[in-house]
Amino acid sequence: MAVVHPVPFEELLKREPELQESDILALREWCSKQPHLPKISDTDLAVFLHSNYYRVEPTKNTIETYYTLRTHLPEYFADRDPFVVKELRQAFNTAAYMQLEGRTPEGFEITYGRLIDLDPSHFTWNDTMKLWNMVTDLWIRESGTMKGHLFVVDITGVTFGHAGRLSPLGFKKYLTFLQDALPVRLKGLHFIHSSPVMEVILSMMKPFMKKELLEILHVHTDNNTVAKFFPIELLPNESGGKGGRVLELHEKNIKKLEANRGWFLEDEQTMRVNENLRPGKQKTATDLFGVEGSFKKLDID
């Protein structure tokens, strides 16, 4: 499995008629006055700009938030060596997250996830979300700008035992990153093959979901309603599609993560904020997410 390389900026200029070099220059000028930020490539600036529909000021906010959150969420963005971190290897055996082949008629791309080990005691939110973010990072790096993104999660096998291992704070952290920092044009968040446990999960998620995310949230009990949003055949076989067997797709995806070990290690070393250089007050995880103890863990037997 080959190492993923970023899309050259020149290719993005050809691909995206709205992308203006003058906007990139404006962002580069702004970055030069943010000593706490890492060195950001023109390709990455273009992806941030595209995700904000080419509005420069919101793009600055996304860039600032993206690198700040990745610095202050070590549970998601540190220790990402796919070979040696045993918790990550455990996550590889617990859940499958992957980019699916093919696109929707609108040209949207899909990331898909589901449990592959159904034992709740093997499930750890932080580690499975670390896997999810690694997959998403490579997806964005490989594709650059995309017309739109769908996140699809198959709830098959998720029980109240799994829900008991989730927390409102965990959802707050990830949903903050998803909504305020991730440079994607999210067009849908779909939970398929839903069951009653989804009510419990949504009760933890919804307080942290903005109106825009709630509007594209869809919970499906069967594939009849799914078909209104994207072609079912794009899904893996186990979810009712024709995209291939989940375990085979998952194994291929893990090999891809392993092949890109060098990038994950370099990203952690070089693409974080330096709080000592931040103009004004330094930020901490407590500033961003509140005090850990202020969120009560849901206790479900």
Instruction: For residue 289, name the pLDDT band (cuts at 50, 70, 90).
Output: confident
What does the block give as tokens for 243?
């995209």
Q: Find residue 186's DSSP bridge partners.
A: 149
Give 190-204 pLDDT, tens digit per residue: 999 999 999 999 999
Domains, in order of start, for the chain: 77-259 (3.40.525.10)
Instruction: Please name which of 188, 211, 177 lies closest in space to residue 289, comparing C-alpha atoms.
Output: 177
CA distances (Å), 53 to each of 116, 184, 212, in order?
A: 36, 10, 15
Q: Are 55 and 61 in contact (CB under 8 A)?
A: no
pTM: 0.94
Q: What is the pLDDT of residue 246?
A: 98
Determine the average pLDDT of the residues in 98-124.
97
Contact of 244 with 250, CB cutoff 8 Å: no
18-43: per-residue pLDDT in tens? 999 999 999 999 999 999 999 999 99
**What pLDDT shows up at residue 260?**
97
What the block records as the tokens of 293 is: 């103890």
Whether residue 146 has pLDDT greater than 70: yes
pLDDT at 300 over 60: no
Give the pLDDT score at 1: 66
Q: Sheet of 186-192: strands edge to edge?
A: 95-99, 109-115, 149-154, 186-192, 217-219
Can you tell me the distance from the alpha carbon of 190 to that of 212, in angstroms, rounded to the nearest whole number? 14
| 271 in Cβ contact with 68 (< 8 Å) | no
Residue 269: pLDDT over 70: yes
Count CA atoms within 13 Å of residue 207 on its CB side.
12
Overall average pLDDT of the 144-153 stretch: 97
User: What is the Cα gyration radius of the chain?
Assistant: 19
Query: Mean pLDDT score of the chain, rounded to an integer?
Result: 95
Does the CA dihedral 143-260-178-299 come out positive or negative? positive
pLDDT at 291 over 90: no
Q: pLDDT tens for residues 69-106?
A: 999 999 999 999 999 999 999 999 999 999 999 999 99
- Amino acid identity at 182: L
Residue 89 belongs to what H/E stretch? helix 86-94
